[in-house]
Structure formats: C-alpha cells, structure tokens
Structure 1
Amino acid sequence: MQREPKNYSTMKNDSVRLVQMTDPHLFADPDSQLLGVNTANSFNAVMDTFLANGHHADLLLATGDISQDYSPESYHDFTEYVTKLDLPCHYLPGNHDDPRLMSLHMQGAHMFGQQLITIGDWQIIMLDSTLRGKPSGYLNDSQIELIDFAIKKSPHLNVLLCMHHNPVLVGCKWLDQHCMANGSEFLETVSQYPQVKGILWGHVHQTYEQQYQGQHGKIALMATPSTCIQFKPKSSYFALDGVQPGYRLLDLHSDGSIHSQVYRVPGDHFTPDNEASGY
C-alpha cells in the first residue's frame, strides 16, 4: 500500500479550494455518445464553464468513472483534456474503470494517483470503493486501515474522505442497489475520528448534500453531478434528468468547516435520450 502523501504548501490558516469533477465516462472514440450525450464534449464544456466562471482552485479531484469503455485512449484523452485547467489532478477509480490502465495511461506532470494528500490544515484521503466487475461498492479493511494510519500520523489535520460510491442511500431505488454495501459501518467507523469533517463522492450523477451526526459533531456528506448524463433524483426506476452537467467547488477552512456549491453548464446544450431504460 502506498502511504506517502503528496504534500502541498499553503500560507498558514489559508483556506483550501478544491474543484471536483466526476463520472465523465469517456470513450476511445471522442465522437461516441452515452445515452445521447457526447461525453467528451460535455466534459470539456464543464471545464470551460469552470474557467468562464473565473473560479480558481488549488487541486482538481476526479472521483471515478473516468472511462466508459475501459480503453487506454479514454484515460489518455482525460489526461490531455484537463491540462487546460492548469491544476494538479488527483484521481481515484470508479466501477467503470480499470485501475491498472489508469495508472499506465493517466501519466503527466499534473496527474497523481496518491491516496493521501496534505494541503494547508487539511488531509484529503482518496479511497478505492470499487469491487472489480461489479457496479456496487465496498470499502475493504485496507482502506479503513489507511484512514486510521493517516489520521494517527497527522492528528492535527482536518480530514476530507473521497471515494466513488455513495455510503448512504440517495433515494433512487434502482441506483441505491449499487451503493457502498458497508456504508453504514463505514460511517460509524469514521465518525469516531474528530478529524473527519466531510465525505465526498460521485457515482450517483446528481447533487446530494446532507449531514451525518457523528460522535464528535456533524460530517458533511456530498455527491456531485456527472460531467455527462444526470440521473433523476428520487426516482424508483431508471430515469435521466434534463439538468446540465456540472462540477463542485469546495472551500476547506482551517477551522474544519466546509463551504461547497455545485455549478452547472449554462443553457441546454446536452439533452439525454429520455427513452433510455438503462446503460
């Protein structure tokens, strides 16, 4: 297990700003579509929106499902696309990803697969919640041990935990079948650490913001829209939403508080195939 963190220096007591982009579902062929949406175009539109909004950030977090077809080309293209942001990019795998191919083809001066990141008064832990060959997730003992190791090594730092799968049910019956199977146990375990202030994920292709009452206070729970298709919230059956793709900005403050907001591509450029019954 790789346990050496990637360290970034900031001025003491400065807040840290992150941008999360998730679930681009890229193909080897950049002209390919997922349920009516060209995923390369929508991902680039999300990045262009971030730039047009004039938002700065310290790091980009890519929380899985980089690829839709497990192709080397999709990972290479992602690496090329994100150079326009001029940000360090830290990534983790989703259920549509091949971690071996990710490590081989997501290479460059701005790409990082480290699980531990320290920046300012914060430690960001990038977790692998995937089960090979399955859409659902599970956080195994090695990942729990990594959290414990990291917090004990740097107990003075606030902690943001990142993963692909949702550890809580989001209210979509069809989608919640593919959540993190041991999410309840995970939340109970990590809530024992007063350092844990937030949990961030992708996978659900929609915005989700709640708070979990832990043993030492409330923990922010956050999911972020995909950069391509969106799943309709609170739907018992597979359904796509017409809202546009987007990204999340997170401001991590030295006192452990988190301010976060989702931004979407303006207009109605990306319209999914609403007749689709699955993907």
Structure 2
Amino acid sequence: MRTLPNPHPGIPLKILQITDCHQFADADTTLHGCNTRSSFESVMILAQEQHWPPDCILATGDLSHDGSEASYRYLLDHFERLGIPTFCLPGNHDEGTMLDAILHGDVVASHSAVDLGEWRILMLDSSIVGSEGGHLGKAALDMVTRSLSSSQGRHVLICLHHNLVPTCTDWLDTMTVDNADALFAITRGHSNVKAILWGHIHQKFEATKDGVALLGSPSTCFQFLPNSAEFQLDTRPPGYRWLLLHTDGHIDTGIERIAAETQSLAQAE
C-alpha cells in the first residue's frame, strides 16, 4: 500500500487513464498502420493541454507490444519527465516481470494499492502468460478483499487491463476476464466501490453493474470498431480518459481524443 499526500483537501482528484500504448523498442515501428510512439506522444501532449496537471496517471496495460526492455525504458523516461505519480499494470502484450522491474522510479510504480485523499485505487493484474484473455488469481482477489475491508471509509476505484463484461464486439469478447463473477461477488458487499476501470478494448465503454460504474477506454494508438463481429479497426482517433473523483464518491469522467489531422500524421510516419 502506498499513500500519497492529499494535494488539495476538499477538491476533486483529477486522474488520467492511458491504456494500450503498444510501444516497441524501435520508435519507427508501426502496428496496423499506426506509429504507436508518435500517437502516444500526441495523446500525452493533448492531456497536457486539456487536463494538466493531474494528481496521478493510471496506465492500464499493453504499455509495450514487444515486451522489450527498450520500450519500458522509453516509457519510464517519458513518465519521469512528466513528474506526475504514475501507476502501471500489465496487459496481455506486456512482459510483466520486465514491466515491474523497469517501471519503477521516483514517480513511476506498479503498486497494487494507492491511497490518495478520500480514495483508494486498486491496480489488479489480470494478465495470463501466453494468453490474450484475462483471469484474476487468488492473490489478486484476496488483495481486493483485504483492501476493501481496511479501506476505512475511503471510496474505491478498481483498475485492471481486461474487460469484465462483454462489449458487444464479438471477436473481442472472447478475451474477457474469465472469472469476473468472483470479483463482482466481492465488490457487491462494499458500497464504497464506485467504479471499475479497464483498457484492452481500444474503445469507449460505459455501463453500470450493482451500482458500480464500468468504464473502458480508447487506446493511445489504433481503435477497435465497436459492435463488430470480426476484427475491424475504427476511424476514431486515439485518446485518453479523464476522471474527477469527488470527496463524496461521485465521479465525473469523459474521453478526449487527438484531432483527426494529428492522427493522420501518426499513420503516415
């Protein structure tokens, strides 16, 4: 558990989520026609123009695509230059051991739990080595149980990489967390759990279950077409999610995307 000082008591916390950055060792590498390095940097520039400074950044997996040391060292350098507390978790494309070893510094960490003001943020590892789908192991579920029991009245935001519920994108819905009900069985008994946040789906998703907001977010590179039966890319630009975590447990949230012309430049590089 890590505790950060409350930067402004009584004022909502400003949180940014970035996800599915798919970085490579080689900055010029493209994936599905997108230069993922260029698009990531464009998204971070937009965040600095629109929602800066946040109280922390949540990086929710698939941060690297090739699992290379160089890709994680690039991300470490980028986050440390920003100077914002950044908490990371792995996705199915990440090399988890490498992520934990490298994304660790003065402002960057892969902590499993963080207290910030009136909120507790839980970062869960849903990745399975060698699989595109997700699973929450006993250690993760036990950590949630302990953290909720000891939350001392704090509101709780849970983060992971894989989606817990279907998104109506048929091909993608074969890669959800295979034991989501185990997590819901725990959270159902705790009214202070306000939202569950994930990446993986490369698209905006918002729903509720048992009074808890379920939030999925766009990638910082290419997007998946919602409601598609087979793999298909969307034309929507990359982006990030912002959240305002209020002291009473209310959450305001939205998506910001880069301009279409900026996206075109990333695709051309």
Question: Aligned match of 1:175 in 161, 168, 172?
Answer: 172
Structure 2 equivalent of residue 238 of structure 1: 231
Structure 2 equivalent of residue 126 of structure 1: 123
* 1:259 matched to 2:256: no
* 1:247 matched to 2:243: no
Question: Aligned match of 2:7 in 2, 10, 13?
Answer: 10
Q: Report the secondary structure of 1:46's partner residue.
A: helix
Q: 1:93 to 1:54 in 2, by over 3 A?
A: closer
CA distance in 1, matches of 2:231, 2:104: 35
**Greater alpha carbon shift after TM alignment, 123-132 vs 48-57:** 48-57
CA distance in 2, matches of 1:158, 1:175: 30
Structure 2 equivalent of residue 157 of structure 1: 154
**Greater alpha carbon shift after TM alignment, 195-204 vs 49-58:** 49-58
Structure 1 equivalent of residue 55 of structure 2: 58
Identity of aligned residues (%): 35
Query: For this pair of structures, how many residues does the alignment match?
Result: 266
Structure 2 equivalent of residue 108 of structure 1: 105
Q: CA deviation at 1:187?
A: 2.0
Q: Report the secondary structure of 1:256's partner residue.
A: coil
Q: Report the secondary structure of 1:176's partner residue.
A: helix
- Residues 72-129 of structure 1: per-residue CA shift (max 9 Å, x gap): 0000011122344321110001011111111222232111111110011100000011
Q: 1:11 to 1:54 in 2, by over 3 A?
A: closer
Tell me the TM-score normalized by structure 1.
Answer: 0.91
Q: Which amino acid aligns with 1:59?
A: C
Structure 1 equivalent of residue 205 of structure 2: 208
Kept in 1, the 8 Å contact 2:225–2:234? The answer is yes
Structure 2 equivalent of residue 224 of structure 1: 217
Q: CA deviation at 1:269?
A: 3.1
Q: CA deviation at 1:54?
A: 4.9
Structure 2 equivalent of residue 38 of structure 1: 35
Structure with the higher fraction of residues in helix conformation: 2
Structure 2 equivalent of residue 143 of structure 1: 140
Structure 1's unaligned 5+ residue stretches are 274-279
Structure 2 equivalent of residue 86 of structure 1: 83
Tell me the TM-score normalized by structure 2.
Answer: 0.94
